[in-house]
Amino acid sequence: MATFKEFRNNVKPNWCPGCGDFSVQAAIQRAAANIGLEPEQLAVISGIGCSGRISGYINAYGLHGIHGRALPIAQGVKLANRELTVIASGGDGDGFAIGMGHTVHAIRRNLDITYIVMDNQIYGLTKGQTSPRSAEGFKTKSTPEGSIENTLSPLEIALSAGATFVAQSFSSDLKQLTSLIEAGLKHKGFSLINVFSPCVTFNKVNTYDWFKENIVNLDQFPDYDPSNRIAAMNKIMETNGMLTGLIYQDKERKPYEDLVVGFKPEALAKQDLTLSREDFDKLLAEFK
């Protein structure tokens, strides 16, 4: 059985010292080992941005995609090889701006993949602009007078779109983050895990100290029931989205791939896709 060290490679991350993404990387590696995966059983698909580099820092199958398109690729990988455990990852700009359309439809589609968003509430790789997760009044190079836009709430959107697993964590809480990723990987369906991952270089507002002062841990509510969708939505709104833990899980709804009519359970990647000349000519004739 692989240990978390076997999910490491020799590529040194070039994130800024103190970046929250280091903890996300470590949590993924630990979670994969804890649930008994081998490196060849895991695929990590990422988008653009600082967080998008994570697919190259983990010893597993990996693909660094284009901006906002990690989820379409990840869904294709899962449909082609259902034996793989598939993680999609990216930042809040990647998933909640240019990629938001893909995010919403991946949520409602409910393929068995885990989407980990590193939410630093700013565009980091392009040197500090306002993102969809930046607060109203947030001053950056793109909003020098302060943002006049309302902050997007991905947790509310996820529940509204029919998510079957919604969780949120903080990169400073490695134990909770690892546990939530484990739960997301085990969940049969689409798992959204939003992670507060501070940008220490460009975001001087939403710092580690700021998150520690404002986060509400669901462990404080022993009677909280993550299977109650209405209660989950209410708790998100009560805390203004600043809560961590398992927020909602629906264990009854089947994943997309189990509902596809005629879909063979064996991996498409292992099927004989050799095309005879006769079949090729028939296929070609359809386009004449």
Tens of pLDDT, residue by residue over 81-135, are 999 999 999 999 999 999 999 999 999 999 999 999 999 999 998 899 999 999 9
φ and ψ of 130, to 5 deg: -65, 135
* DSSP assignment letter at 221: -
Going from the C-alpha of 136 to that of each of 8, 36, 130, 132, 258, the distances in angstroms are 39, 43, 10, 10, 42
Lowest mean pLDDT among 18-22, 72-76, 240-244, 257-261: 257-261
CATH superfamily of 4-285: Thiamin diphosphate (ThDP)-binding fold, Pyr/PP domains (3.40.50.970)
Is the pLDDT at 2 greater than 90? The verdict is: no
Angle (CA) 130-102-33 rounded to 5° is 90
Evaluate whether 21 touches 89 at the Cβ level (below 8 Å). Answer: no
CA atoms of 164 and 199, how far apart (whole Å): 29
Give pLDDT, residue 271. 75
Per-residue pLDDT reduced to its tens digit, 193-251 = 999 999 999 999 999 999 999 999 999 999 999 999 999 999 999 999 999 999 999 99
Q: How many helices (H) and strands (E) does the chain have?
A: 9, 8
Q: Please choose, from the candidates 190, 233, 211, 234, the residue with its C-alpha nearest in 3D space to the C-alpha of residue 88.
A: 190
Mean pLDDT of all residues in 264-274: 71
* DSSP-assigned beta bridge partners for residue 8: 58
Where does the pLDDT of residue 265 fall: very low under 50, low under 70, confident under 90, or very high at 90 and above?
low
* DSSP, residue by residue, 177-209: HHHHHHHHHHSSS-EEEEEE---TTT-SSS-HH
Question: How far from the centroid of its chain's Cα atoms is residue 281's Cα?
Answer: 42
Q: How many CB atoms lie within 10 A of CB 227?
A: 12
The domain limits of the chain are 4-285
Where does the pLDDT of residue 266 fall: very low under 50, low under 70, confident under 90, or very high at 90 and above?
low
Is the pLDDT at 261 greater than 90? The verdict is: no
- Listed in sequence order, the residues at least 6 apart from 270 whose beta carbon sits closer than 8 Å to its beta carbon are 81
φ and ψ of 120, to 5 deg: -105, 5
Per-residue pLDDT reduced to its tens digit, 24-70 = 999 999 999 999 999 999 999 999 899 999 999 999 999 999 888 99
- Parallel, antiparallel or unpaired: strands 42-46 and 61-64: parallel
* DSSP, residue by residue, 138-168: ---SS-TT---SPPP-HHHHHHHTT-SEEEE
